[in-house]
């Protein structure tokens, strides 16, 4: 139970912690006196870090929900993924998505139902491998999506601080530092977005090719052969010894 909770805390915490760190850097650039923590005791600093850790998890969780809302609910991302998978699947009728093209969410839900149904019909060893691999790819895609939201929010905060201080002074070293942070955030968001695209395509090809294997009965054939071998070995072990 502890490992399960820790996994989710880290998954939700990373986007929030990244946002907190870059937001603090932006504050530190322009508000050095108020942002420094030299006047706090060790106990106070420890309490602040623990509090920020929990706050980061909450912020990261909200960023996950924002990512899901933007990417899946308020867009037609599910229909795009469904089309890409359907184009790669040989026996498209078995997906059960025909007649639901006008409701992309329901069509995608039907495809997910077929995926779970085929997993249930697959042998235990194959099912565990496929489910673990699918879970890893899907979790990575969603984690990268939430991190993109976090980096985008960090860029917004840095830009706000940069432009809010420009009218007061001419271009200074602080503005150059903020601009450097923006370049760093831009590089990070481009890199994370490329990873997001890579894992998304990997997941689509993984699902589509396993659908082809499911519908072709490849896993069922292997499982039935394995079961016959196991039955044969059990019967031979139970045979009376001479």
Cα(41)–Cα(45) distance, integer angstroms: 6
pLDDT for 91 equals 75
pLDDT value at position 2? 44
226 is written with which tokens?
Answer: 């394995």
Smallest CA-to-CA distance from 115 within 213, 228, 231, 232 is with 213
How much is the pLDDT for 48? 78
Instruction: Report the alpha-carbon distance of residue 14 to residue 12 in Å, rounded.
Output: 6
Cβ neighbours of residue 174 closer than 8 Å, sequence gap 6 or more: 29, 30, 165
Instruction: Report pLDDT for 227.
Output: 45
Q: Which two tokens stand for residue 18?
A: 């990244």
DSSP designation for 89: -
Q: How far apart are the first and last CA of the chain?
A: 51
pLDDT score, position 16: 93
> What does the pLDDT profile of the chain (242 residues) look like in tens digits?
445 567 778 888 999 999 999 988 888 877 765 555 556 667 777 887 888 888 999 999 999 999 988 887 777 777 778 788 878 887 777 776 665 555 667 777 878 888 888 888 887 788 888 889 989 999 999 999 999 999 999 999 988 887 776 655 566 666 778 888 899 999 999 999 999 999 999 999 988 888 888 887 777 645 444 444 344 444 444 444 43
Provide the 8-state DSSP code for 240: P
Q: Which residues of 170-182 are buried (b: 16+ CB within 10 A; e: fewer)?
A: eeeebbebbeebb
Question: For position 215, what pLDDT does the model report?
Answer: 80
CA atoms within 13 A on the CB side of 203: 20
pLDDT of residue 146: 94
């Amino acid at each position: 139970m502890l490992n399960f909770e820790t996994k989710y805390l880290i998954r939700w915490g990373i986007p929030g912690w990244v946002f907190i760190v870059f937001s603090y850097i932006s504050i530190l650039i322009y508000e050095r006196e108020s942002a420094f923590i030299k006047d706090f005791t060790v106990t106070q600093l420890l309490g602040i870090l623990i509090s920020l850790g929990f706050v980061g998890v909450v912020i990261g969780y909200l960023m996950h929900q924002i990512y899901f809302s933007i990417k899946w609910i308020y867009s037609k991302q599910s229909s795009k993924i469904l089309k890409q998978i359907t184009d790669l699947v040989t026996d498209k009728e078995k997906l059960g998505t025909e007649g639901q093209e006008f409701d992309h969410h329901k069509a995608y839900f039907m495809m997910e139902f077929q995926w779970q149904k085929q997993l249930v019909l697959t042998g235990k060893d194959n099912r565990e491998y496929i489910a673990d691999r699918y879970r890893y790819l899907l979790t990575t895609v969603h984690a990268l999506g939430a991190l993109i939201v976090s980096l985008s929010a960090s860029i917004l905060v840095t830009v706000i601080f940069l432009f809010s201080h420009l009218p007061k002074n001419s271009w200074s070293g602080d503005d150059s530092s903020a601009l450097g942070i923006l370049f760093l955030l831009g590089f990070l968001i481009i890199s994370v977005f490329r990873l997001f695209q890579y894992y998304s395509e990997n997941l689509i090809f993984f699902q589509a090719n396993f659908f082809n294997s499911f519908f072709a009965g490849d896993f069922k054939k292997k499982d039935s052969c394995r079961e016959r071998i196991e039955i044969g070995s059990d019967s031979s072990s139970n045979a009376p010894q001479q």
